[in-house]
Structure 1
């Protein structure tokens, strides 16, 4: 019956047969003369090829079945880990190898088919890695890869790290889980499968591997070059498969619903079949089940309610039989005590021991979890197994199933705890030296408690303590209930269980994981638990900083930041809409709002609000009609009518400095600028992006930016004065977001403003045109040039280093390429990267890192020539564009800069060096190729020891 169903499913998966495969006479003779072709597959390359219940399954196995049916080829399958398969193929012990990626050096022993699948290669880290900011974050880290993987050489070129090589995917993944390496690089489907299979909850995906010459992992068949007919047969078969069958294969093995899981070993019914006695029992009984309150992610309390995988699994189980149940939540030891004393009927997450057979009937395990040894970071110079813990204080949970086994070892002083949370906290505070705990909940409480001084030391050896087998225990005497539980578990389909696994154990990106965890102290966590939500009022009309649109939706820079904050503190932040900024200020005074996402600190406001440090600083400018004079500073506004949105802090600033300015409060930037246009106001004061956005949106092109005032607008998150913990939570959340991500958000909105709502250059040019006319009349040429320079700098200057930004560098590169074509001279590019810059941030903090970046920028600028363009390319990487310069001149300049950097006394108190890559523009060359050559040379400089210049 089962085989018949599999046949039906196969037919459904491959509904449309491709056209008959046409083989040549020679190809048919080859098949006839070679009844079996030797092919190497991997037994651990899930979901492409892997062993399940002593047979090979997976995407590639099904693909080979199709090829066999189409061609008549029969495959003699040989199984081995990747590097052994590759060696066997090179030695011609097998005719075909699966899952091989194209590399030029492999052409000597391989004929490649076209790819049958392309997989992204991803970088995984543990969730205690810290902030990941691109591949430079791997500098100095232990990085694991599979032996003989196709990108090994390129990865070695990129980094001086010693790569840690593993033979199997399981070994590679376990090494990261248990702290032997800091990161691993591998294809996405394989590692995601292992994460779900083994419930590794402490791994996160942070990036896709991007190296010169390396693309996605292209899975191909490699054919022995001595067998060209075999190659042509295999390629023809691949070409003939057709889109429907490729789609079906992908859907079967690379989607959430795997066909073997849908079928399982039996065809499960949706409801369990119960006897009359069992039905009667359930009609008259409310079953009591005991669950653990701190057993993340299986059962845990959240906002006073039980949640987790086990809880949802039991709800599903109960639905199969119509069981009514109550849950009692407690720590493990008291839960076990209640079960022994028959105060509850079922206990969740119990592991089998012989002693427990006296009072429990055990279900089959619904999961197995690895146990781990946790310790404080750097507390063991060299960990050499459990012997390293001899004489140490080791934490263990009371009545845990392996307690007696560990005690019999006689190696440690065991310290008993009621819960995982208490145990992990004691380890963080130095009350114990190590702790035994299952990996999942241990990692949860490390992150939740902000205990960044704890790491996974090793796996608790399987030969001593078996993995934690999660079972349901039923009271020994209650035979009817035990029978019901067994039937209900049998009715849960593999697909239903898979959905739960994907929900709780699917791999996520680091950003998502980090969004859920910031280091809050106990007081802050308890405060948040008392809050159902955080209420937010806003500035309703200052785009692109923030606004409430016509649909009542909050959007802008502030909203993007608040969304991230909400995720990080795991608490909804709900908008309380207002019609004006002054109403928002009134609401927070009255306790109707908890926070303002974009507010400026003043002496008066500090009486009723707390403020985070500013996350955004913007220029304050004045807009006038285009026939008005240039505004040098706020003193030029004396005795004039100036519009400002009501409640804005600028009102206080201007009144304090110039009481004789006549300030008119308006409801929005739009209202203020319209009154300027209609002559009711001389000017309107606001931040530059807001004025620019409104001028463009409303078509007010007879207005201009007449000058920048001496004030800057500094925006942070404000919170109620009577809830000071909220301010510290907001501050921590902003710190976790980091300056780089905030700059990215601001850049996105500025970009949107420029492209969709406001053309900065157009406005600047219009404004400057009228200013130029006025300068003839008013003799303000010098002031106009100053404004011109300042406005231009806003769009082309890097905020931190004051060098040109990437946009400007891209523009200059295009101009130089055009000049080269017209005047037949060349130019050079120098790429510069600070060596080991991460050590500055790690040792001294990001503030000192910013100081070092500024000093570095100044060295480059002061040691370049007047004709050179120096800019910040990104992070700690810089670019120098050398006009009309050949290779010799650019190399000499790079050498000079290198020496100046090496001899400079940086504020961090430690010497720094830099690596340089130099390339010269070739006639009609694509700019991307020029930059790539410089970049490759830079990587070469780093690989060859740093503090050197290489040519590309």
Structure 2
């Protein structure tokens, strides 16, 4: 009884300690002995069965997290289930009840387990503490890392999905894998482009520090050091056209030509071991595959994952892969200079920190995406049901706009021509679908024909709410801009908002009218039969402006030599070109979406380049040339004025904005508060304010560094700004606090906005995927001084912080 009384008294003391100051727990440097103490404390909580057990255990875990960086997670479990779990990575370090540690959590980490007993001395659970993995570098390795700030690595021009260059940026599975390693070493990567043979020579001459995605061979092992095991493996495959007989060995390719990448292991191997195979040398994998696709070679050889990925990415639909039975799976290794044993050792140690979750995410990013692409590509070849429909249908009839050059029009001979005509031709060539034009006298007649099922499709249409009632639509395949055409006397129009009180013309039954009305409901719009009539009305002064698609307006002006009319600005209303389909044959929508997928990006660009170049080649008349020169003189004068005006504007802005986040500073916010309070009193309007504080921001700075903290602040302000009205004022109040001033807003609506912002921030993606939450204080400013209003919102924010943060509180008197 005496022992139990002492335990209960000790428990009471601990409970008080955790309730009032959870950081007051004194921890020694001996981690495992402290975990024994922790287990004893947890044991007492279980024995007393207090209602606040979870709160006290949570507070204890937080103390240990804060004092021991090495701790990664806690778990309290019995024979049958997990009772409690907690992660350091969870910013709030929440204690989860009856939730096991995630399968993604790497339980291969070092851990320490301690039994939890009941008052009878029987085991009722275990406390398991998991530790972070660490790297134990030698003195020489640490010196190497201190002196070596940058690693020079090869970036292949074209080896997707492992190592390639996309829009000037190195990317791929191997690149991502290496970055996981160097992130643990605080090193930077410098990627070097070139040919494979050059990379090998540079590594040998110490101009590269290492090479990734290298296949190991006896000859190469004489020149380089290799990692002990591959970081990824793939089966090998032969590649041929679909019509070619199946081949699984090099022997079967004798007497034929194989495309192979010069400098690759496979090139040397075939040249040495299979002299009866003719070699077609290529600079990279894509060129090798295209050589087979274009019939320049009979076959090729490579990693199956690489070949399959590129067949689908570049839509090389006439190629197939077959497993090569000469070889087992090949793996990609890291290769180092023979003298660089120390770098090999460092990389191997850092590689051990890569978790199972990291590998799963890489696989998902690069190979799951590929599988989805592959599935879409197979789908594109159509189902049996779709093929049966196409065979029965024979041809798909199209109704078009006969007067929409250069998009689509009928020539004098009645030939369908233009951008859309060429796109449909490409689609037909790729899929074998046959299209025919049913000529109608106008665009309106064409729309009616599809609605009444006389025609099957409108190849060039825009989806609107009204049209969706009668038609189905495919995915978009092009996006085009609308422009504003006015008389020459107008200098520049920034957007339709500038002329919302003017009368404009658009083509009848085009989507333009519906799209404009959606933004500017009161705008005066008249409809005309075609673009030429609309531009002539502008010329005669019957309407202020004509709004239409840029290529159509430009070509109509040039071909018809319309004087005194020019393109004055963009309408800021883009249209997505889609195929409109009769609504009684839904299977056609599926077929045409797959057909659109068959048109490659390069093919689309060729179609656009052909027609937009024609427009550019149209000559300018002398009058237009003089107008351009005059406009340039005016523009230069405006530029000089603008530079002076902008310099003064920048000076004013610098005095009013926060340098880091580029939002209002406290000085400006104070001024705005006074202005809005005066306006409130004058017009008897509502006024509310929101004060925001980023939760645990100091911890973000401590753990990730101040650079990360700055980026979080910048991302945070952009997130808030995107979700405010133009009339709202937003700025940095100081440190990680921000203030929103909401004119004409009551307390209820301010709370609704704050809760919306809180959820957006909680779900948002910030720099380096760091989890961010925030606390919000809200108050409505009555007829009081600004200091009193700010004091009230500060009290509300304090309440939010007291309530475990990540919440919204309203000031109550």
Q: TM-score, normalised by structure 1?
A: 0.31
Q: TM-score, normalised by structure 2?
A: 0.36
Q: Which has the higher contact order (CA 8 A, sep 6+)?
A: 1
